[in-house]
A and B are shown apart, each in its own frame.
Chain A
Amino acid sequence: MEAAEAAARPRASVSRRVAGLFTGRPRLTVGSLLAGPLGWLVIGYLGSLAVLFAASFWNVNSLTGEVSQTFTLNNFKTLVNEPVYRTVALRTIAVASAVTVTDVLLAFPIAFYMAKVARRSGKAVLVVAVLMPLWSSYLVKVYSWRVILSSGGVLDWALHPLGLKGPGYGNVAVWLVMSYLWLPYMILPIFAGLERIPDSLLAASEDLGAGPVRTFRRVILPLALPAVVAGSIFTFSLTLGDYITPELVSNNEFIGNVVYSNITNNLPLASAFATVPIVIMIVYLLLARRLGAFEHL
């Protein structure tokens, strides 16, 4: 009986047999899945960074400007002792946080509308509309904001009848421009996340007597949290590393500016300061994990 069955069963295809190797072998699965990305990142990227960051422990000869590979903690001592570096780091973190919060507030309503309220055609139009700014090039957008924020510019001109003036250039300008630049990176993930919430779940919540606010707080928000966190990682980290916008719409130095000005001649100090955004992102990810953003739902 079994032999006949065995003869009748078709021979498994090659792909099925290869795939079968992975069944029940989670470590092999994980390893193979990660081989590509990790190989690329480790060899291609981390390797390059490793030397750069090794330089943060090296010395610069003040006479010749040469980098000598003698171990020293002076660079980190400088960062800690000189208050300006702390100011720059705190300023960058503050703006990055403000940008993230702003983008979440701006993105959520429109993402929700696109995911749950808009009809088919409206949804397509909105998706295209929301993504359009992405194609008009970073520099063009920032220069456009310069026109908007300049004295006598669009914002001043619009606020003039109200007797108000625009914020001009400075940290507020950086916050506005960055919020603008990264907004699509927040809208799209939240939209994708909200779309996955079944309408029936929301209907059930309503049937159980919850008003829209309660449904939002108790049902929508928790389910959308991973998507919000995904988006916030973009807005936060993209702001941390940017130096072109602060240079064009403010006189203040951000982390990227300090790294940029030091990287040509004082690689040790530049790479020491570049560890700051790394540390910040580690803390950010740990916080997000604490808040349960990475839980399986």
Chain B
Amino acid sequence: MRLSRRARIVLRVAVGITLAFIYLPLVVIAIYAFNSSNILAWPPPGLTTHWFSQAFHNSGAGSAIVTSVEVGLVATAVALVLGTLASLAVARHRFFGRETVSFLVILPIALPGIVTGVALSDTFTQVLGVPLSLLTVIIGHATFCIVVVYNNAVARLRRASGSIEEASADLGADPLQTFRYVTLPTMRSALVAGGLLAFALSFDEIVVTLFTIGAGQQTLPIWIFNNLFRPSQLPIVNVVAILLVLASTVPVYLAHRLTREEEGAAALRGGGAVAEATAVP
């Protein structure tokens, strides 16, 4: 898109402000990962790499990270499936109570996590009599991850008219084929975005996790929660955070690649739609 020079400058400044806002706390965390004292005061009295070696030898952190990744992947997978199903129903069909579905899906993140946590915990332990474990944590996480996928998917589906799907049906494709070859590619970048955010939400969740996890297990946020209370361990927490931020670049980049092929296709499709609309019959 062609922008005037002035517009370009204004845009660049705005982007710069946002990026500065995003990175300020991360830079602070990085500085404190080298903090020679374990008290969080500014400015830090000195710098050391001592905590990095401590962090690498900390088995608690390692297993907590692995647990969090496992829980996150499964919860995201479940949320992707359920969120996509729900978004298809809501965006493509009219039925009584359509708005209720949108509302129901949002409920888990609108309520304070303590309510979800206590409610699920009571149901698991007192009503169903099942012990708390990683499975119960996954169920809890998937419940509020659904909305992340659903919202993105619905927004995308509302933008893409259903006429292309109708065309596909006219050409003889059954609903499953239409979904696989037409709808899903349309939704792909929205689903990737939803999946990434759902994973992030699960990866970072403390409260519901605290009440649905078994006694011997730890996700990363719980490990951090425990170590924040121990001032002698505080800098390791910052180290772990920074290392995770750096390690995340690869999976996020790969996830972004998944949506890249769409660019060319989208431009074509979009152009085609306009051409259709303006074509002289």
A touching B, CB within 8 angstroms: yes
- A residues in contact (CB < 8 Å) with B: 15-16, 18-20, 22-23, 26-27, 29-30, 33-34, 36-38, 40-42, 44-49, 51-52, 106-107, 109-110, 112-113, 116-117, 120, 123-124, 127-141, 143-148, 150, 152-154, 157, 180, 183-185, 188-189, 191-193, 195-204, 206, 212, 223, 226-227, 229-230, 233-234, 237-238, 240-244, 255-256, 259-260, 263, 270-271, 274, 277-278, 280-282, 285, 289, 294-297
Closest to A52 in B: B119
Q: Select which of B152, B189, B270 is within 8 A of A198 by beta carbon.
A: B270
A44 touches B143 (CB 8 A): yes
B26 touches A132 (CB 8 A): yes
Q: Select which of A23, A227, A237, A238 is within 8 A of B155 by beta carbon.
A: A227
B14 in contact (CB, < 8 A): yes
Closest to A177 in B: B25
B71 in contact (CB, < 8 A): no
A297 touches B159 (CB 8 A): yes
In the complex where A37-B83, A147-B42, A148-B24 touch, is A259 in contact with B89 (Cβ < 8 A)? no
Q: Report B106-159 residues with CB < 8 Å from chain A CB.
A: 106-116, 118-120, 122-123, 139, 142-143, 146-148, 150-152, 154-156, 158-159
Residues of B within 8 A of A180 (CB): 21-22, 25
In the complex where A144-B32, A199-B1 touch, is A135 in contact with B112 (Cβ < 8 A)? no
A285 touches B114 (CB 8 A): no
B213 in contact (CB, < 8 A): no
In the complex where A146-B40, A285-B99 touch, is A124 in contact with B256 (Cβ < 8 A)? yes
Measured CA separation A84–B168 after assembly (Å): 58
B164 in contact (CB, < 8 A): no
- B residues in contact (CB < 8 Å) with A: 1-4, 7-8, 11-12, 14-15, 17-19, 21-26, 28-29, 32, 40-43, 81-83, 85-86, 88-89, 93, 95, 99, 101-116, 118-120, 122-123, 139, 142-143, 146-148, 150-152, 154-156, 158-161, 169, 174-177, 189-190, 193, 196-197, 200, 203-204, 206-207, 220-221, 224-225, 228, 237-238, 240-242, 244-245, 247-249, 252-253, 256-257, 260, 263, 266-267, 269-271, 273-274
Report A218 CB to chain B, min CB distance, Å.
Answer: 15
In the complex where A52-B115, A131-B200, A243-B112 touch, is A226 in contact with B82 (Cβ < 8 A)? no
A241 touches B113 (CB 8 A): yes
Measured CA separation A143–B240 after assembly (Å): 14
In the complex where A15-B176, A44-B143 touch, is A134 in contact with B11 (Cβ < 8 A)? no
A52 touches B118 (CB 8 A): yes
Measured CA separation A282–B114 after assembly (Å): 20
A137 touches B241 (CB 8 A): yes
B175 touches A22 (CB 8 A): yes
Residues of B within 8 A of A120 (CB): 260, 263
B253 touches A128 (CB 8 A): yes
Closest to B270 in A: A198
B110 touches A48 (CB 8 A): no
A144 touches B1 (CB 8 A): no
Measured CA separation A142–B257 after assembly (Å): 31
A117 touches B3 (CB 8 A): yes
A191 touches B109 (CB 8 A): no
A19 touches B112 (CB 8 A): no
Measured CA separation A26–B139 after assembly (Å): 30
Measured CA separation A152–B44 after assembly (Å): 12
B104 touches A109 (CB 8 A): no
Q: Select which of A107, A201, A278 is within 8 A of B270 by beta carbon.
A: A201
In the complex where A196-B159, A234-B109 touch, is A34 in contact with B177 (Cβ < 8 A)? no
In the complex where A184-B197, A192-B156 touch, is A23 in contact with B174 (Cβ < 8 A)? yes
**Among all A-B residue pairs, the 10 with the closest Cβ atoms:** A198-B270, A109-B14, A19-B174, A19-B176, A48-B119, A256-B112, A237-B110, A33-B89, A134-B200, A48-B123
Residues of B within 8 A of A52 (CB): 115, 118-119, 122
Residues of A within 8 A of B151 (CB): 189, 230, 233-234
Measured CA separation A189–B87 after assembly (Å): 15
Measured CA separation A116–B1 after assembly (Å): 7
A278 touches B123 (CB 8 A): no
Measured CA separation A13–B64 after assembly (Å): 46
Closest to B109 in A: A237
Q: Select which of B85, B111, B224, B248 is within 8 A of A37 by beta carbon.
A: B85
Closest to B93 in A: A30
In the complex where A141-B25, A294-B158 touch, is A259 in contact with B2 (Cβ < 8 A)? no
Residue of B25, B107, B160 with most chain A CB atoms under a 10 A cut-off? B25
Residue of B12, B174, B220 with most chain A CB atoms under a 10 A cut-off? B174
Residues of B within 8 A of A129 (CB): 19, 22
Report A151 CB to chain B, min CB distance, Å.
Answer: 10
Q: Select which of A140, A198, A202 is within 8 A of B241 by beta carbon.
A: A140
B238 touches A140 (CB 8 A): yes
